[in-house]
């Protein structure tokens, strides 16, 4: 099978065995066999973050945004109010979802690429005692920034505010331990660092917090967190028709994760990241963020100031060489982005570096 190297922030490159997991005999998702698979997947999703004794996962058919919408629309009571951290496109998307449901909110808005000041967030918590929830992105792929998860969670604990963490692009890529981090709700999907296929998202919810939302009036049906959880608890099945083959592929991806281990996966990703930085330095490009703020899972690179540079032409050059690269997305400076997640390693990044240097030399692109 032809192998493409996807250096976009998901869907990511998958292993052949995950692709082969899609090729299963047709099965009705109401059969006990599929119900058993679903329960196994739900348990494994929680196990990735060591939440077996404290958290439960709820799975949805849909992209990561479905999981975010399910959580945001379900967990804030009619008397609640949520603070949104917007320092990238996905914080902004959370705000858009909240607005659509008419949920009381306020936004802590930063320039996309600016690092959150924990003291500034605490000042908001002190000033606005109506706040009940705080939603923020862990790894903001708009810029490749890793927001300060432990510090923000500590504020939530201190002020008794429920935390909602969009870990779409960090779950299974970076160590997240629910035994150490007081996360109330964590959201991710099947097609990024867990290395499955696009088509499912999930919310990992603290058991006590999840039980409390049972009495909240439902703002929707298909994405209602408690409704989907209670249905699968009673029946062992998805409430609505699931993407059957995608669930089989997710199960295979989870099994591969546990074989590799969290430490092994993070080390592989980080080695690819360090290899990328070597190549970026060799062609004379600069980075959007200081390295201390990097997720080490995606890097935003400043576009060269050269009349010979055109991103789409460069994209097409790489695409013809079976490599996908990604444009910038509204950061404070013009960038292109390179992710190093999925079933790739440093050797793939060495190939990217080689092609990048060749491309710049052939087209006489310089950054001076």
Rounded CA Rg of the chain: 21
Number of domains in the chain: 2
Domain coverage including residue 92: 18-259
Residue bearing tokens 């600069």: 286
Query: Do residue 290 and residue 237 come from a single domain?
Result: no
Alpha helices in 111-165 (DSSP H): 118-127, 149-159
pTM for the structure as a whole = 0.97
Tens-of-pLDDT digits for all 368 residues of the chain?
889 999 999 999 999 999 999 999 999 999 999 999 999 999 999 999 999 999 999 999 999 999 999 999 999 999 999 999 999 999 999 999 999 999 999 999 999 999 999 999 999 999 999 999 999 999 999 999 999 999 999 999 999 999 999 999 999 999 999 999 999 999 999 999 999 999 999 999 999 999 999 999 999 999 999 999 999 999 999 999 999 999 999 999 999 999 999 999 999 999 999 999 999 999 999 999 999 999 999 999 999 999 999 999 999 999 999 999 999 988 788 999 999 999 999 999 999 999 999 999 999 998 76
Query: Do residue 162 and residue 133 come from a single domain?
Result: yes
pLDDT (0 to 100) of residue 366: 85
Collect all residues with Cβ–Cβ distance below 8 Å to 282 and sequence separation of at least 6: 353, 357
pLDDT (0 to 100) of residue 368: 65
pLDDT (0 to 100) of residue 1: 80
Query: Do residue 247 and residue 199 come from a single domain?
Result: yes
**Residue where a domain terminates, one of 216, 238, 259:** 259
Nearest Cα neighbor of 288 from 101, 140, 73, 126 is 140
Nearest Cα neighbor of 147 from 179, 180, 184, 108 is 108
Query: Do residue 153 and residue 285 come from a single domain?
Result: no
CB burial string 142-157: b at 16+ within 10 A, e below: bbbbbbbbeebbbbbe
Query: Do residue 255 and residue 278 come from a single domain?
Result: no
**Residue where a domain terminates, one of 239, 259, 279:** 259
| 198 in any annotated domain | yes
| 350 in any annotated domain | yes
Query: Do residue 221 and residue 281 come from a single domain?
Result: no
Nearest Cα neighbor of 197 from 11, 339, 352, 345 is 11
Query: Do residue 186 and residue 312 come from a single domain?
Result: no
| 2 in any annotated domain | no
| 368 in any annotated domain | no
Nearest Cα neighbor of 362 from 319, 313, 329 is 313
pLDDT (0 to 100) of residue 329: 85
Number of other CB atoms surrounding residue 309 within 10 Å: 17
CATH number of the CATH domain containing 355: 3.90.1150.10
**Residue where a domain terminates, one of 209, 226, 259:** 259
User: Residue 73's Cα: distance from chain center in Å?
Assistant: 19
pLDDT (0 to 100) of residue 200: 98
Q: Are 80 and 133 in contact (CB under 8 A)?
A: yes
Q: Are 359 and 317 in contact (CB under 8 A)?
A: yes
CATH number of the CATH domain containing 239: 3.40.640.10
| 274 in any annotated domain | yes
pLDDT (0 to 100) of residue 362: 95
Query: Do residue 53 and residue 163 come from a single domain?
Result: yes
**Cα 89-86-94 angle, rounded to 5 deg:** 70
pLDDT (0 to 100) of residue 335: 96
The first and second tokens of residue 117, run together, are 């000041």
> What H or E segment, with its residue span, contains residue 245?
helix 244-260
CA distance 54 to 251: 22
The first and second tokens of residue 76, run together, are 């804030």
Query: Do residue 213 and residue 343 come from a single domain?
Result: no
- Peptide linkage before 11 cis (omega within 30 of 0): yes
CA distance 8 to 27: 33
Query: Do residue 42 and residue 52 come from a single domain?
Result: yes
- Dihedral of CA atoms 342, 346, 351, 352 in degrees, nearest 10, equals 60
């Amino acid at each position: 099978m032809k192998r493409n190297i996807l250096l976009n922030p998901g869907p990511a490159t998958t292993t052949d065995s995950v692709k082969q997991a899609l090729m299963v005999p047709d099965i009705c998702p109401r059969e006990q066999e599929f119900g058993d698979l679903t329960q196994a997947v739900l348990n494994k999703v929680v196990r990735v973050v060591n939440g077996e004794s404290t958290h439960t996962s709820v799975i949805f058919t849909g992209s990561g945004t479905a999981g975010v919408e399910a959580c945001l629309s379900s967990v804030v009571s009619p008397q609640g109010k949520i603070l949104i951290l917007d320092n990238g496109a996905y914080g902004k998307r959370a705000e858009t979802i909240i607005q659509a449901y008419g949920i009381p909110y306020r936004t802590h808005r930063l320039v996309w690429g600016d690092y959150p000041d924990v003291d500034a967030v605490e000042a908001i918590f002190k000033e606005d005692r109506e706040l009940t929830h705080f939603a923020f992105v862990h790894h903001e792929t708009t810029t490749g920034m890793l927001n300060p998860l432990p510090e923000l969670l500590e504020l939530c604990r201190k002020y008794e505010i429920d935390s909602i963490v969009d870990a779409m692009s960090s779950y299974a890529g970076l160590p997240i331990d629910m035994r150490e981090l007081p996360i109330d709700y964590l959201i991710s999907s099947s097609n990024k660092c867990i290395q499955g296929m696009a088509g499912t998202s999930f919310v990992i919810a603290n058991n006590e917090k999840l039980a409390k939302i049972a009495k909240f009036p439902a703002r929707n049906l298909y994405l209602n967190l408690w409704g989907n959880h209670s249905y699968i608890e009673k029946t062992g099945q998805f409430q609505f028709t699931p993407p059957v083959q995608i669930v089989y592929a997710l199960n295979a991806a989870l099994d591969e994760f546990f074989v590799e281990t969290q430490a092994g996966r993070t080390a592989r990703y980080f080695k690819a990241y360090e290899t990328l930085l070597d190549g970026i330095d060799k062609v004379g490009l600069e980075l959007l963020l200081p390295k201390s703020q990097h997720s080490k899972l995606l890097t935003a690179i400043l576009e060269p100031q050269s009349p010979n540079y055109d991103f789409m032409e460069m994209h097409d050059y790489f695409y013809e060489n079976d490599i996908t690269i990604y444009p910038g997305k509204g950061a404070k400076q013009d960038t292109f982005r390179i992710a190093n997640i999925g079933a790739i390693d440093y050797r793939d990044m060495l190939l990217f570096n080689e092609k990048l240097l060749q491309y710049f030399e052939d087209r006489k692109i310089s950054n001076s």
